[in-house]
Structures are given as C-alpha cells and as structure tokens.
Amino acid sequence: MLSVEDWAEIRRLHRAEGLPIKAIARVLGVSRNTVRAALASDAPPKYVRQPKGSIVDAVEPRIRELLQAFPTMPATVIAERI
C-alpha cells in the first residue's frame, strides 16, 4: 500500500519538478499505475485496518453461560473455570 509520504512525494515530483510518470515510478520503485493513481487522487490514501477478533471471542459463549447462571461471579472465578 502507498504511504502518505510516498503519495506526497509523487505529487511533488510531478508538479514541482515536472518529472514524467515513468521517471517517478523508476525513482520510487513503484508501478506507473500507482503513480497515476496517486496523481489522480485528491486526498492521501487511508489505511484501513482489517477487523481483528479479540482473544476472548473463542470463550465468550462459555463466559456468557456462566454469567447467566451466576450473575455475581467474580472475573477471577470465571477465568479459572474457562
């Protein structure tokens, strides 16, 4: 994925220094299509983090069962039982 710094550098090289797309791609080591996409976009790329589960997801149903059966059970006891 293209970083914000690379995106800004591509735009600077093209607009301020007048380098062609092919030269920018060669200098930065990216595809010409990547350079074209960076020049076409008005905003820097945003990093989208993949949704990641929690460690508790695997045992959540068992925890809920215990809490339904014993609503006042302390977390330490729940941890021992799972």
- The 3-state secondary structure of 45-62, one letter per residue: CCCCCCCCCCHHHHCHHH
- Can you give the pLDDT at residue 48? 77
pLDDT for 58: 87
Instruction: Give the model confidence (pLDDT) of 5-18 as tens digits.
Output: 899 999 999 999 99
Quick one: pLDDT at residue 43?
86
Question: Domain locations in the chain?
Answer: 4-40, 55-82
Summarize pLDDT for 45-65 with one digit per residue, the tens: 887 788 888 888 889 999 999
How does 18-39 read in b/e, with b if 16+ C-beta sit within 10 Å?
ebebeebbeebebeeebbeebe
Which two three-digit tokens encode residue 79? 């941890």
pTM above 0.75, yes or no: no
